[in-house]
Amino acid sequence: MRVLLVEDEPGIAAHLRQALADAGYVVDHADDGEEAQFLGETEPYDAAVLDLGLPRLDGLSVLRSWRETGRRFPILVLTARGSWREKVEVIDAGADDYLAKPFATEELLARLRALLRRAGGHADPILRHARLALDTRSGRVSQDGTPVTLTAMEYRILAYMMHQRHRIISQSDLIEHVYAQDYDRDSNTIEVMIGRLRKKLGKDSIITVRGLGYGLGEPA
């Protein structure tokens, strides 16, 4: 899952970027409102963590611009101010959740997981398909209750497919959501990772629909 982190304070940005990466997310970072607005309107993010106090363009203006241009990814707003009026303002502008600074990193990650689940139509923190289970809180994957060890890239691919389990996902869509903006994207790597997932989960765990992409099948 690919997340845009918008935070101009270097210490907080570095900490959150690492925490999000450790939780299995692909993270792009913007440290001013103009860059954030551009990235949010041109890249296919699964969610955004948006600070309000930004240089060049304030976070509320960024939020409104994203929504006015039809961007529908979940947005978690961060702010140093915690007044109820500001909370109402950002929610009315299109934010999905709100967190006042200072905050616990674990709470931010929990709120982000909830937003991503709801965006995909999931209520349970454990995503399930056939005999597969993926715990979004711990990053653990199991099949028939038996733990399955995955690499970071294998996990990102499977997690995205589990969140989107009712549709066929094109290779280009996978590439956009499991690589950061500045990463050297390689379609061959996706094919290799799909092959490895099939070896670990069963050859029918991921199906290929010719000309369309990949979908979850029935694990062996």
User: What one-character DSSP code corresponds to residue 32?
Assistant: S
CATH level 2 (architecture), domain 126-216: Orthogonal Bundle (1.10)
Per-residue pLDDT tens over the stretch 57-99: 999 999 999 999 999 999 999 988 767 788 889 999 999 999 9
Tokens of 94: 């299109």
Please give the Cα distance from 178 to 32 (Å, whole number).
24
183 contacts 96 by C-beta, under 8 angstroms: no
State mean pLDDT over 152-162: 94
- Tens digit of each residue's pLDDT (9 = 90 or more) over 49-62: 999 999 999 999 99
Query: Quick one: fold of 2-119?
Result: Rossmann fold (3.40.50)
Domain residue ranges in the chain? 2-119, 126-216
